[in-house]
Chain A
Amino acid sequence: MLEILLNIIFLLTFPFLFIGIINKTKAFWAGRKGASVFQPFYDFIKLLKKGEVISATTSFVFAISPSLTFASVVFAGLLVPVFNHRAILSFEGSFILFAYILALGKFFSLIAAMDTGSSFEGMGASREASFSTLVEPAFFIIMASIIALSGNYTFQSLSLILQNSGSFGYLIIILSVFALFIMMLVEGCRVPVDDPNTHLELTMIHEVMVLDNSGSDLAFILYGSGMKMVILASLIANLIIPADLSLFYSVIAFVGIIFILAIIIGTLESSFARLRMTHVFEFIFTMSSISLIILSLTMISMNKHGG
């Protein structure tokens, strides 16, 4: 019970902190004092209090989409193990539901962008749809390899890699962490794929899709995208934290890893420029190639140990 409660509290509060820490880190590197780490939360409350301006071109799709996308992210969060490697909802093959429910949210955010009839938003939707086609197969290769190694069909498999694979396991963990980190950058629309601070519509991907959203809808969208990053960061933390840690230590390790990831992202954003749009595919391809390396390592280590 305590675990479930901790899990839900984590899921609901950390998105604000995660974005807050990224912004604070960026401010630090820029030599500014920066806003408080709780600023995203204040923004969220502020937006909830506001009314909305809704484009006359739009239909019911635009009205339901932000809520549906947010619901899909929250639901995906319930499937991911947090602290102690246990998810609230856990069953065989739950990673498939995880990926597909996030895809459902993406489906609706894409059509909501197209619903406004704006070329800017259409452009953003087109880019987002194209880029995400490459991420999912790589994610599935990584998850399938990890499942093959650990023999466990739930998300718990993330923490069981070392059991059956010996020294290769460390290599696989490092590569998986790196690949999932790239996935986090792509799905969270951060530098070098997309710049959340850009102010020119033509260069945006995710930001341009939500140009017409305001008020509580915008609040849900921002909260949802923060939560998505935290969920993906949790997957990374699951890979790193060993399976047999006690609850107390695993909470500390978990929170620590999430904060470190936020700081890394902030540092990356301060030191890198975004890629040219045509090079984004190549960047995402690094994730695909890493996933194929993970697959081959899995095969070698299974031949050595299990086979």
Chain B
Amino acid sequence: MKYFYIGIFLIFLGGLISTAFAEKLKAKIVSLFSGLGMVFVLIPALNVLFTGNTISKNIYFPEPIGKVNFLIDPLSAFFILVISVMCFIGTIYAIGYIKPYLNKNKLTSSHFFFLSVLITSMLLVVTVQNALFFLIVWEMMSLSSFFLVIFENEKKEVISAGINYLITMHISILFIIAGFIILTLKSGNLDFASFKQVFELNNSLANMIFIFLFIGFGIKAGFVPFHTWLPKAHPAAPSHVSGIMSGVMIKTGIYGILRILSLMSIPSVEISYFVLIISVISALFGVLYAIAQHDLKRLLAYHSVENIGIIGIGIGIGMLGLAYHNNLIAILGFSGGILHILNHSIFKELLFFAAGAVYNKTHTKNIEKLGGLIKTMPYTAAFFLIGSVAITGLPPLNGFISEFLIYLGMLHNFEIKSPVVLIISVLAIASLAFVGTMALLCFTKAFSVVFLGNPRSEEAESVKEEVSPIMLIPMGILALFTFLIGLFPQYALFLVKNPVYTIISMKETVKALDCHVASLLAMTGKAGLCFIGLFLLIYALRTLLLKNKNVCSYKTWDCGYQTGNNRMQYTASSYASPFLSFLKPFFVKEFDTKKPKGLFPKEAHFELHIHDIFEFYLINPVINANKKFLEQFYWIQSGSTQQYILYGLVFLIIALVGTIF
């Protein structure tokens, strides 16, 4: 535990020291210290993760917090691993990404300070076992990430996205507080361990508390319909921050849900269905809206919603397994879900970093303006391609492994022999397959419109060279991870084995089942290797066949029409159009058109905005109603100082009168 404190202290110290140094050194110092801190926090974390023991220590704070229990159990250790490694990689990337922003009167000092605060608070969130202290570090995490989001604060949309994020996070903490208050009142203690008895006491109350906490944590994680902050905040933030937020920070919401589950011995069937259904809806709508996006980072943000849904499906299946006392289903579901947390953090960071590299060079996030970047930025393109294949869940990369486990969990659900479970599982399987094919559509669109073909605008054409190696190296490491987990999944299972036991809390009976899962994964890993071998063989055959033959380069087949230009290429909108027109009812479309008029038309203009139905029909009406109510009180804020002094006076008098009685 000592090492853990030292590590956390080092990461925080890095942020503090960096404020004193010159602008170009700040990122390097934060990166160095978070690297050192990572080593220190990983010593106890890896120890716990592999042995399955737990380390715990109490620290006494002044009232009202009191005794705070810091605990590293395998579940915390897994999250410490994800947070520390992924954030360290993010800070390396930040060194390169921040360069164009230096010496332009930007608030880089506070940016890097809050970056280290964010990492520190996330590490604390996953170890603290005291409800009040948890809320404090949770709030620290939300606030520091808010400051990171509004880095480009001269832009109006960045500020509005930041405010939106801030408000949403406070709605989230409201639900968490509500849940914790009930728990504390019932157990008489702020300690998480004492909450266990509440969950065991009363079923309907436990379900209610779980749903409160699920909503609270779900807002952070981005489950539909609480996802609306994600597609706003991620595009506004600088890319290393979006990578860390989407790859790591939203997972703390999942951590919260898993922690609650570890306190509940057996979840009820109803809440298992609740989690499963919400997750399926999140996965479906996340990817559906991603297809409609033209902003590369917005598209990736919607994919976070999808992947959180997939993680949730895994968790929901695991809960069903627990509820029906079937350990194999529980193991498959939870290990699929937890492994997907790691996998998603890897490929989502990779994709955000590659998108950041594109933005860094072209200064546009609109994919309709890009194209042909594979020739000037070949490494970024290759990394984006690897990330795309991984996020689509295709073998032989890591995304397939976790989805495979989740599929297997759903197939084993048939052993429960209940018609309801059968129907729900089959529909969930079909939905996951549908999500997979939609993701394929979405990422073939994103990759090919950004990187392939010819440049569609001057911005894309003006790119002359690849981004600096300091930005490419982190992407390379992440790409390597996707291959390692994809090809040797049986070892990745080691990482999630003990965290799963923490939730299931039945060790001995499940060992045999675990071997079964490991051997199955080893099989898929070998299949992946075989496939790569087969591909290399066929490619070698092709090279051999083309040797000594006439291979010439010519322009693309143009059907005899020789005066085409680059803007006549297929665009992202046209690529997605057949599919979107088929799913019309799920979108709110807003057209902004000006038709060409007369014999010699001068101006014409067409714009299409696609809105999220959840935001349009669910969130906005609530906000508007709220606004209307609060408008009644506008007159209080008159702007004249005298009146404010009067308010103060009135308040003081009321307070005085109040104390007398």
Chain B hits for A53, CB < 8 A:
551-554
CB atoms of A93 and B404 under 8 A apart: yes
Residue of A whose beta carbon sits closest to that of B375: A59
Known: A92-B520, A130-B578, A136-B433. A144 touches B417 (CB 8 A): no
Residue of B whose beta carbon sits closest to that of A148: B414
User: How far in angstroms is the closest Cβ of chain A from B419?
Assistant: 5
CB atoms of B447 and A111 under 8 A apart: yes
Interface: A254 (CB within 8 A): no
Give CA–CA (A212, B449) in the complex, Å.
18
Interface: B623 (CB within 8 A): no
Which B523-581 residues sit within 8 Å CB-CB of chain A?
A: 523-524, 527, 530-531, 534-535, 537-539, 541-542, 545-546, 549-559, 564, 566, 568-570, 574-579
Known: A71-B531, A110-B444. A117 touches B549 (CB 8 A): no
Interface: A86 (CB within 8 A): no
CB atoms of B523 and A211 under 8 A apart: no
Chain B hits for A52, CB < 8 A:
546, 549, 551-552
Main secondary structure, interface of A, reads helix
Which A116-169 residues sit within 8 Å CB-CB of chain B?
A: 116-123, 125-127, 129-130, 132-141, 144-145, 147-148, 151, 153
Give CA–CA (A125, B440) in the complex, Å.
12
CB atoms of A103 and B436 under 8 A apart: yes
Give CA–CA (A299, B425) in the complex, Å.
12
Interface: B400 (CB within 8 A): yes
Interface: A259 (CB within 8 A): no
Chain A positions 61 through 80: 1 when the CB is less than 8 Å from some CB of chain B, otherwise 0: 10010111011101100000
Chain B hits for A101, CB < 8 A:
394-395, 531
Q: Which residue, of A50, A61, A201, has the highest number of chain B Cβ atoms within 10 A?
A: A61
Chain B positions 412 through 434: 1 when the CB is less than 8 Å from some CB of chain A, otherwise 0: 00100101001101100111111
Pick the contact of B542 from A67, A92, A93, A298 — CB < 8 Å? A67
Known: A100-B395, A137-B437, A303-B419. A75 touches B452 (CB 8 A): no
CB atoms of A144 and B530 under 8 A apart: no
CB atoms of A114 and B408 under 8 A apart: no
Interface: A286 (CB within 8 A): no
Give CA–CA (A127, B582) in the complex, Å.
12
User: How far in angstroms is the closest Cβ of chain A from B210?
Assistant: 29
Interface: A185 (CB within 8 A): no
Return 7 A-B CB contacts under 8 Å, by A number: A53-B552, A59-B374, A101-B395, A114-B453, A116-B557, A125-B448, A126-B575
Chain B residues with a Cβ under 8 A of chain A: 371-372, 374-375, 378, 381, 385, 389, 392-395, 400, 404, 407-408, 410-411, 414, 417, 419, 422-423, 425-426, 429-434, 436-438, 440-441, 443-445, 447-449, 452-454, 520, 523-524, 527, 530-531, 534-535, 537-539, 541-542, 545-546, 549-559, 564, 566, 568-570, 574-579, 582
Known A59-B381, A136-B433, A216-B542; 8 more pairs at CB < 8 Å:
A51-B550, A72-B531, A103-B436, A107-B440, A117-B452, A144-B430, A215-B546, A215-B549
